[in-house]
Amino acid sequence: MIPDVVRFRQADLLIGLYRRFGPVVRVGPYTYLLGPEANQFLFAHAELFEVERAFQSLVPVDGPTSLIVSDGEDHKRRRRLVQPALVHRQIAGYVPVMEATAEATLDAWRPGQELDVYQEFRRAIRRTTIHALFGENLARDADFFGAHLQVLINLIDRNPAVITWLRRTKAPAWRNAMRARRAVDARVYQAIAEARQGGEAGDVLASLVRGSELSDLEVRDQVVTLIAAGYETTSAAMAWAILNLVRHDGVWERAQEDDDYLANVVSETLRLYPPAVVSARVAAQPFELAGKKIKQGTFLLYSPYVTHRLAEVWTDPLRFDPDRWERKPAPHEFLPFGGGPHRCIGAGLATTELSVMLKALLRRRKPELLPQRVTPTGLAAMRPRHGLRIRAAG
């Protein structure tokens, strides 16, 4: 029996800590900044925080110049060059690719077939993301990227201290990951060279290489970040959205008839199952919050999951209720993509992709949710540990 709302036990412990100690909680080497007050402070005072040191564990995948690990002027410059291809006007042009990929995925299903719908749409979203942003040529290698990036994602899904140990000891897991990275890099650098010579490239790749402001390493890091982060988080949200559509009575049928209601389903899914349970910062200088002093260099974690499940912010927070979205929350109350100057640059692309692919699914007959235990995993990209099994409609 699948509960109405899946709970993440490890993250639920943070809610208990917030209830007991307030917005600032120290646990071992980490200090947690929890709840809307902490979020508002964090987003309003970006100068107090560093992201580069906070996300060093992502460097093996995303690279040292990725937007995710960039601070200050470097971050502003790189974001300014990536942003034009991810504005609403440009994203609208990617919709036909999203629709075609979704329909091809669904056309391959057979009546009565048992499927892991998480993995099905994970592949579809990976291909769509690569095609839309970087062109059809690179998208032909979507399965190649999936296989090799998964090795890297498995590495960084570990505790940062474990990653450091693996790197220092050159353990097999580290060597395998570096071998996978070299393969990914070779293909991306080939695409960069072709784009610089005027070859076919998607909007983002073209905008990154046609100027002279970014080095090949910087371009490589933005490309890999947008591919890996794009499909890893969006496919997880897709699985939770499908669970909500199928699990709750009447939701599938209403979403079939009403695009606004479907948009509310997406928002409610991102509230209950935000892509990142926690995100990180490092204190760039000393500061004080809620009467507690934070030292420079302190490793900080804040949690969209905690804020999204607080009764003082959301009425009956554990109830899946798309109709609650008649009220627009403040940015520090609803933060599935973070906030402030480091808010996820792909947020608009992700929500569009979710809506387009869900619409394609809703045009088909409702699948059957098979008996299973749905367990969340992944603090950086919360996903169903064992996938989400359905039976395609007959």
pLDDT, one tens digit per residue, over 324-359 is 999 899 999 999 999 999 999 999 999 999 999 999
- In sequence order, the 6+-apart residues with CB closer than 8 A to the CB of 259 are 355, 359
DSSP state, residue 66: -
What is the number of alpha carbons within 13 Å of residue 332 lying toward its C-beta? 13
Residue 162 pLDDT greater than 80, yes or no: yes
Q: Mean pLDDT score of the chain, rounded to an integer?
A: 94
pLDDT, one tens digit per residue, over 188-231 is 999 999 888 877 667 788 888 876 688 999 999 999 999 998 89
Number of H helices, E strands in the chain: 16, 12
Confidence at residue 92, expressed as pLDDT on a 0 to 100 scale: 94
Residue 157 pLDDT greater than 90, yes or no: no
C-alpha dihedral, 258 to 275 to 204 to 227, nearest 10°: -120
Domain boundaries, the chain: 9-391
Residue 225: name the closest of 54, 59, 56 by CA. Answer: 59
51: helix, strand or coil: coil
| Confidence band of 245 (pLDDT split at 50, 70, 90) | very high
Q: What is the CATH number of domain 9-391?
A: 1.10.630.10
Confidence at residue 201, expressed as pLDDT on a 0 to 100 scale: 67
Confidence at residue 384, expressed as pLDDT on a 0 to 100 scale: 96
- Encoded tokens for 354: 């979710």
Residue 380 pLDDT greater than 90, yes or no: no
Residue 129 pLDDT greater than 90, yes or no: yes
- Encoded tokens for 140: 């032909």
Confidence at residue 260, expressed as pLDDT on a 0 to 100 scale: 97
Residue 240: name the closest of 135, 341, 381 by CA. Answer: 381
Residue 78 pLDDT greater than 80, yes or no: yes
| Confidence band of 313 (pLDDT split at 50, 70, 90) | very high
Please tell me the distance from the alpha carbon of residue 357 to that of residue 334, in angstroms, as a whole number.
23
pTM of the predicted model as reported, rounded to 2 decimal places: 0.95
Confidence at residue 209, expressed as pLDDT on a 0 to 100 scale: 87
Residue 1 pLDDT greater than 70, yes or no: no
What is the number of alpha carbons within 13 Å of residue 334 lying toward its C-beta? 16
Phi and psi angles of residue 363, each rounded to the nearest 5 degrees, phi first: -75, -10
Confidence at residue 212, expressed as pLDDT on a 0 to 100 scale: 66
Please tell me the distance from the alpha carbon of residue 367 to that of residue 244, in angstroms, as a whole number.
12
Q: Are 110 and 95 in contact (CB under 8 A)?
A: no
Q: What is the mean pLDDT of residues 373-388?
A: 93
C-alpha dihedral, 37 to 43 to 44 to 46, nearest 10°: 130
Residue 368: name the closest of 250, 247, 256, 262 by CA. Answer: 247
Q: What is the mean pLDDT of residues 117-132?
A: 96
Burial (CB count within 10 angstroms: exposed 0-12, middle 13-18, buried 19+), residue 194: middle
Q: Are 41 and 290 in contact (CB under 8 A)?
A: no
